Amino acid sequence: MSPVQPQQGKTTIEPDVLVAIARLAALNVPGVNRLTTIPGTVDRLFQRGATEGVHITLENNVVSADLYVILNREVNVRDVSRSIQAQVARAISEMVGMEVGRIDIHVEDIDYASTTA
């Protein structure tokens, strides 16, 4: 008797899941203070993730993201930005198995009140 093979099904990922993954990955990067609301026009306020500082686009099964961050003072902006890009791409790729395109980082401000560990 051969084992029964399950039928192939379909898995869908809600965009909010991708927003949450990108947001948490970015916040775990040392030097990131917080994410900020996406600047722009009123219509952008109604897009998913806009209030969480993450804008996700999905085109031909490739995920791209824009992250709007506020960094701690006394960090190397380039190094932290590259680390955010790497961590967000890794998290999306590993957690949902989707191909990752561009990860654009928008440094909106530096928090001079914060201290670095």
Domains, the chain, ordered by start = 15-111 (3.30.70.1350)
Q: How confident is the model over 13-31, as pLDDT tens digits?
A: 888 999 999 999 999 999 9
Calpha distance 68→66 (Å, rounded) = 7
pTM higher than 0.85: no
pLDDT over 90 percentage in the chain: 64
Res 14: pLDDT: 86
Per-chain mean pLDDT for the chain? 87
DSSP state of 75: S
Tell me the backbone φ, ψ of residue 100, rounded to 5 degrees: -110, 130
Residue 108 binned pLDDT confidence (cut-offs 50, 70, 90): very high
Res 101: pLDDT: 96
Other C-beta atoms closer than 10 Å to the C-beta of 90 total 12
